[in-house]
Amino acid sequence: MTTAPDLHPKDRLLRTASRLFYAEGIHAVGVERLISEASVTRATFYRHYPSKDDLVSAYLTATAEDIRDAVGRARHDKSPREALRAVMAVLGDATLDDGFRGCQFLNAAAEYPDPGHPVRAVIDDQRTWLFEMLRDLSASLDHPDPDHAARVLVLLHDGAFQAAELDNAAVVRETLRRAVDEVFPAQDV
């Protein structure tokens, strides 16, 4: 399957990489295949991405931007409780997508175990953002320990993204939704 030829070569590479890395794994997809399926030359590949790891970082950065945009839209003009529910729904809804293969960041972390690797910096940045966003929402709900609440929600997110690939994604999503009300009982509002 090739990517739309009307896209700029850099965008074709990123779109192709995003599709293949997510579906098959980062290390399973070689540069030659990326070049072939994106319909670019080797020189074009290396002009835009000096290494495959640079393309991996771009893929994860683009994924993070998409998630952050979706979360921002979900939170907009909502009460803190409804914003948190909406955020967790956005995260849970991703598990229902056709071709769902788990969390891109957890998958990439499994392939890049060295915490000093540049790809891990992109993963760590997204994890920090997720934690801080959930901590801020927890604080806005006057949770007595917003750091702990955020850690619990991150664990729920991680578990949901792994479980949804293995179990019934709809049940996992509903469990994630219900967990918000259990971590933040109505009297805490």
Token duo for residue 95: 């598990």
CB proximity list for 89: less than 8 A, separation 6 or greater: 74, 173, 177
End-to-end C-alpha distance for the chain, whole angstroms: 50
Give the global pTM.
0.90
Residues in the chain: 189
- CB neighbours (10 Å) of residue 146? 17
The pLDDT, as a whole number, for residue 3 is: 53
The pLDDT, as a whole number, for residue 104 is: 96
Q: Which CATH number fits domain 1-50: 2.60.120.620, 1.10.1200.10, 3.30.70.260, 1.10.10.60?
A: 1.10.10.60
CATH T-level assignment (fold) for domain 52-188: Tetracycline Repressor; domain 2 (1.10.357)
Low-confidence ranges of the chain (pLDDT < 70): 1-5, 187-189
The residue written with tokens 């960041």 in the block is 105
Integer angstrom CA distances of residue 87 from 6, 17, 120, 188: 34, 27, 24, 18
The pLDDT, as a whole number, for residue 172 is: 82
Q: What are the domain boundaries of the chain?
A: 1-50, 52-188
- DSSP-derived secondary structure letter, 187: G
Q: What is the pLDDT of residues 87-107, one digit of tens each?
A: 988 888 888 888 889 999 999
The pLDDT, as a whole number, for residue 189 is: 39
